[in-house]
Amino acid sequence: MKVFELAKELGIETLSLMDEIKSAGFVVKNHMVVLDDQLISDIKSWLSKKSETASAKKKKKVTKKKAASKKVVTKKTTKKVTKKVTKKKLTKQSVSSSIEKPTVKKKTQIKKTNKISAEKDLKENKIILRRKSEVVIKPLNINTKESTSTSIIDSDVNKEKFSGAKVLGKIDIAKKSTTKSPTTNQPSSYSARSRGLRPGFSPDNSVQSTVPSVNSFDKKREVKIVKKEVPKTTTGLGEVPKFSVSDFRKREVVFPQRRKKILSHKDFKKTLITESKSSKRVVEMGAEINISNLAAQLNIKPGKLIKVLIKNGIAANINMSIDFDTVSLIVPEFNFSVRAHVKSKEDVLSTILTTDSAESAARPPIVTVMGHVDHGKTSLLDIIRSTKVTEKEAGGITQHIGAYKVKTSSGADITFLDTPGHAAFTAMRARGAQLTDIVIIVVAADDGVMPQTIEAINHALDAQVPILVAINKIDAPGANLDKVKKELSEHNLVSEDWGGENIFCEISALKNIGIDSLLDSLALMAEMLELKTFPKNSGQGVVIENFLLKGLGNVANILVKDGSVKVGDYLVVDTLCAKVRRILDDTGKVIKIAQAGDPIQITGFDSGVGIGETFYVCKTEKEAKSLIEAIENTKTKEFSSLYSSDPESVLAQLDKNKITELKVILKADVGGSLEAIKAALEKMKTDEVAIKILHSGVGDVTESDVLLGSTTDGVNIIGFNVKANSAGQKLAKEKNIEVKIYSIIYELLDDLKEKLSGLLTPDKVEKIIGQAEVREVFSVSKVGVIAGCMVTDGKAKRNNKVRLVREGKTLYEGEMSSLKRFKDDAKEVAQGYECGIGLKDFNDIKSGDTMELFTMEEIKRKLVLEQL
């Protein structure tokens, strides 16, 4: 049982019970403590003993009080306490000590003067008698500590001054007893109302010392305080307990309840339906706006807006975007207007890009070297740059674009781009032709014109770029220059010797033959082109490569075509932006500014930038953000038009194109190689199989790549010119996933082609095993019709398929249900023997029918692809 439950059972308040328990010496923390049975019995016994003691004292006090009423003068219970008056009030301890031990003494006379004592006795008798006869006392809620009245008595006080004691002893309770609140000797400043207390409770400072004024000549007189004990007011029912403020504050303070104001219908305000002014009823949008966003601006539900669109003949859904014209048609129905904030990419570029044609300077030519694989393109650049770049390439095949700035013997600067010659790098060759000024077509004298040579010629002609032909390997055995010139003339490249307009240079890259003549020809062509740049213009150029470096992140190789790039500028590539913090040239040196024609290296992009994308230089971040926003708006419009077709037709197309996929995770060393491999893999598909690239990126094969591969069955992790780190190798071994690393691209493509061939559904070919003739037909209960046959050719096997032919027409083609030799089951019956053959779910067999016995064999197909 808890403390508050025990208090409820005993019929007393919880706080009172807590005080009693503490006074009894029991340790109880709060009213929620659970009491055991022993403690409950101890508390009850303590309370019962205390009540018995209190009742005994009560009887004793009543008898003494009656005796005192008979002899008022001689038996009055008083207690005199003499103290020197100070400015401090009497403490609670002194009052409580005087109350706890009341004593009954005979009244001691202050003066033995007969006159004064007689008058005093007479007055006291009158006062006491008057109190008894006139005062009607009701039970009062006053402090439990007995209130005391003080009187100031001096040894030299005369009758007139002692009359103050009469006023103090003269109790005016009779006048106020008719009121509800009892009288107190407190001044008005301590009234219950001013203290926020409920009427009927006295403040804690029940003892107030009243000190009369003392004259300056009377300083030596002793002033004493007489503390009288006032007997407790009683009624016929017993004592009325008194309460102090401190005890009262332990209980809940109850304030008078304020009366609530009852509101009438007139007091309630009605909701005012307001409409914003026309200047605020405007829909703000870009090139397009989403249905849900438009509904939010119109303050309506999307469903209502969709109904209006359908009513106007537009099949819409909540995720659909609509253009400015459609919005202009719809919003007037809702009393709105529309305002479009659309800026095209060209408008933003015209604003942020500075153009100053006043100052111009000569720009180095950008020369792209193209040609068939292994015809000597990199060797030519190697001899020009006097470096051994070829030794770093696997198998002599250039895997990605290299950009180099070369200073010739004459002092002119030329920027060279080396493109791969393999068939897979078609896109890179096309891109090289677009961003260049002059194209060098390298043709081997002993090999002649090859497929990639023709492709390079076509790219250069499409870009309308001047072409210089370099016939390499003139010192090789079997070199035939006339044959090469003849083959080139068939593709609109005619030598000046033959009356054409194209410059032909005969060189040998290995033996450094004709290199100076080639460089002079390039300088002449550049001079004729009058290439210029404007250094004060905002920089522009092309991304030629991107890759991932440890410690640097995403790195982009870019080629500046106009203007300049400085440290602190902002580079915008598509929707990516990077602040230029460091610029490296092609030799790896740190430079502060890059001019037109310089191939440089930039870091700071959040992700890999697109190869071949144009970059723009912005001076501030605000300009860069506005340009990115314009590019995103253009992309959103293109995306919406791409997916604006009927959903049913899209789903039908998806169902039609269900093919088997070879899942691949691809990693490469640089972005150019990665892009080329992805383009080649996209071409490796048929109506049945295709390659699906789950993930591709630049960098080594890591643990995350292997984890991604482990979530899909049959995935192939392929790396090109990279390696798998130790964590990735360990995890691949645990997950039993194969990681293959290649350094030559055609080996990679051949392996994937072989794996794709394995996914093709094999061709099924029919193979005749034997032939049987039906001689007799038997009907067997619970089995069906059995054909008695003679094997006339080959043999009959239990798992053979059967084709029943009658008069040249096929009546049945299916499985054999049974094969028996006499009454026993047989696995195989040879030629010239009789047997019984049952057909599955077929009984229409007649004598003279022929049964052809055959099997279906699967033949593996080989993937046939277009030339990569």
- For residue 64, the surrounding DSSP H or E stretch is helix 37-70
Judge whether 358 lies within some domain. no
Find the length of the chain: 868
H or E segment at 718? strand 716-720
Task: Supply the DSSP symbol for 331.
Answer: G
Residues above pLDDT 90, as percent of the chain:
3
How far is residue 347's CA from residue 775's CA, in Å, rounded to a whole number? 92
**What type of residue is 347?**
D
- DSSP 8-state symbol, 538: B
pLDDT exceeds 70 at position 776: yes
Which pLDDT tens digit goes with each residue over 110-153?
434 444 444 444 444 444 444 433 444 444 444 433 433 333 33
- More reliable by pLDDT, 209 or 774: 774
Work out the average pLDDT over 388-410: 59
Residue 705 tokens, joined = 């790549």
Is 208 a residue whose pLDDT tops 60?
no
| Surface-to-core class of residue 25, CB atoms within 10 Å of its CB (0-12 exposed, 13-18 middle, 19+ buried) | exposed
Burial classification of residue 99, based on how many CB atoms lie within 10 Å of its CB (0-12 exposed, 13-18 middle, 19 or more buried): middle
One-letter amino acid of 413: D
The DSSP call for residue 141 is -
State both tokens at 743: 């350094």
Pair (782, 808) in one structural domain: yes
- Same domain for 497 and 475, yes or no, is yes
Q: Is there a domain that residue 453 lies in?
A: yes
Confidence (pLDDT) at 46: 83
| Residue of 417, 386, 413, 392 whose CA lies nearest to 403 | 417
CA angle at 524 for the pair 521 and 528, rounded to the nearest 5°? 140
At 343, the pLDDT band (50, 70, 90 cuts) reads confident
Q: What is the pLDDT of residue 469?
A: 92
Judgement on whether residues 587 and 526 belong to the same structural domain of the protein: no
**pLDDT value of residue 246:** 59
Would you state the pLDDT for residue 443? 92
CA 119/CA 126 separation, integer angstroms: 11
Query: How many angstroms separate the CA atoms of 404 and 440, rounded?
Result: 15
* Residue range of the domain that includes 591: 536-641
Whether residue 70 is contained in a domain is answered as no
Q: Is it the case that residue 189 has pLDDT exceeding 70?
A: no
Q: Last residue of some domain: 704, 729, 759? A: 759
Task: Note the pLDDT of residue 425.
Answer: 53
DSSP for 762-791, written as a single string: PEEEEEEEEEEEEEEEEEETTTEEEEEEEE
**Torsion sign (Cα): 191, 197, 202, 203:** negative
Mean pLDDT of the chain: 73
pLDDT of residue 262: 66
Looking at residue 433, its pLDDT comes to: 59
CATH number at residue 702: 3.40.50.10050
Are 374 and 523 within one domain?
A: yes
Mean pLDDT along residues 423-435: 60
Whether pLDDT at 597 is above 80: yes
Q: Kindly state whether residue 196 falls inside one of the protein's structural domains.
A: yes
Whether 185 has a pLDDT exceeding 70, the answer reads no
pLDDT score, position 756: 84
Looking at the domain assignment, is residue 345 inside a domain? no
Both structure tokens of 244:
């102090």
Q: Are residues 460 and 576 in the same domain?
A: no
Asked if residue 403 has pLDDT above 60, the reply is: yes
Does residue 735 share a domain with residue 669? yes
The residue with greater pLDDT, 114 or 841, is: 841
Looking at residue 467, its amino acid is I
Whether residue 181 is predicted with pLDDT greater than 50 in this model: the reply is no
> What are 73's two structure tokens?
């003068």
What CA–CA distance (Å, rounded) separates 559 from 600?
A: 6
The mean per-residue pLDDT over the stretch 209-227 comes to 44
- Considering the domain architecture, whether residues 314 and 374 belong to the same structural domain is answered as no
| Distant-in-sequence, close-in-space partners of 755: CB < 8 Å, separation ≥ 6 | 662, 716
Q: What are phi and psi of 123, to 5 degrees?
A: -65, -40
**Which has the minimum average pLDDT: 162-166, 302-306, 631-635?**
162-166
Rounded CA separation 165/152 (Å): 8
User: Is pLDDT of 82 > 60?
Assistant: no
pLDDT on residue 778: 87
Q: Is 574 left (phi over 0), alpha (psi -120 to 50) or beta?
A: left
**Minimum mean pLDDT among 194-208, 509-523, 777-791: which range?**
194-208
Count of Cβ atoms closer than 10 Å to residue 533 Cβ = 19
Q: Between these two residues, 270 and 320, which has the higher pLDDT value? A: 320
The residue ranking higher by pLDDT, 262 or 439, is 439
**Is the distance from CB of 558 to CB of 600 less than 8 angstroms?**
yes
Candidate from 330-344, 645-659, 830-844 with smallest mean pLDDT: 645-659
For the domain that residue 809 is a member of, what is the CATH number? 2.40.30.10
List, for residues 716-761, the tens digit of each pLDDT value: 899 998 988 888 888 888 888 888 999 888 888 888 888 888 888 7
Q: What is d(CA 434, CA 542) in angstroms, rounded to the nearest whole number?
A: 10
CB atoms inside a 10 Å sphere around CB 319: 9
pLDDT of residue 419: 66
C-alpha–C-alpha distance, residues 785 and 791, integer Å: 18
Answer yes or no: do 327 and 465 share one domain.
no
Q: Extract the tokens encoding 749.
A: 């493509």
Compute the distance between CA of residue 419 and CA of residue 378 in angstroms, rounded to an integer: 9
Number of domains in the chain: 7
Contact 833, 791 (CB under 8 A): yes
- State whether 491 and 567 are in the same domain: no
In a domain, 106, yes or no: no
Q: Give the residue from 759, 778, 804 where a domain finishes.
A: 759
Please name the amino acid found at residue 517.
S
- Strand bridging mode 834-839 / 809-821: antiparallel
In a shared domain, residues 621 and 671: no
CB under 8 A, 24+ apart: contacts of 403-407: 403/544, 403/545, 403/557, 403/559, 403/586, 403/599, 404/586, 404/599, 405/364, 405/585, 405/586, 405/597, 405/598, 405/599
Helix (H, G, I), strand (E, B) or coil at 590: strand
Amino acid at 673: S
Q: What integer pLDDT is reported at residue 273 of this predicted model?
A: 55
My answer on whether 631 and 690 are in the same domain is: no
- Identify the band that residue 243 occupies on the pLDDT scale cut at 50, 70 and 90: low
Is residue 259 situated within a structural domain?
no
Per-residue model confidence (pLDDT) at position 789: 92
For residues 387-394, average pLDDT:
47
- Pair (330, 368) in one structural domain: no
For range 453-473, the mean pLDDT: 86
**Final residue belonging to a domain, choices 511, 530, 549:** 530
pTM, full prediction: 0.47
**Residue 315's domain is classified under what CATH number?**
1.10.10
Average pLDDT (501-507) is 89
Euclidean distance between CA atoms 32 and 521, whole angstroms: 105
Asked whether residue 669 is domain-assigned, the answer is yes
Provide the token pair at 297: 């601006």
pLDDT of residue 436: 81
Please check whether residue 148 is in contact with residue 80, taking contact to mean a CB–CB distance below 8 angstroms: no
Amino acid at 310: I
- Using alpha carbons, select from 349, 350, 342 the residue that is nearest to residue 624: 349
Is the per-residue pLDDT at 69 higher than 50?
Answer: no
Which of 114-123, 271-280, 522-531, 690-699 bottoms out in mean pLDDT, i.e. has the lowest? 114-123
Q: Which of 126-130, 240-244, 570-574, 694-698 has the highest mean pLDDT?
A: 570-574
pLDDT exceeds cutoff 80 at 309: yes
The contacts of residue 30 (CB under 8 Å, 6+ apart) are 3
Closest CA to 503 of 440, 412, 426: 440
CATH of the domain at 388: 3.40.50.300
At 218, which amino acid appears? D
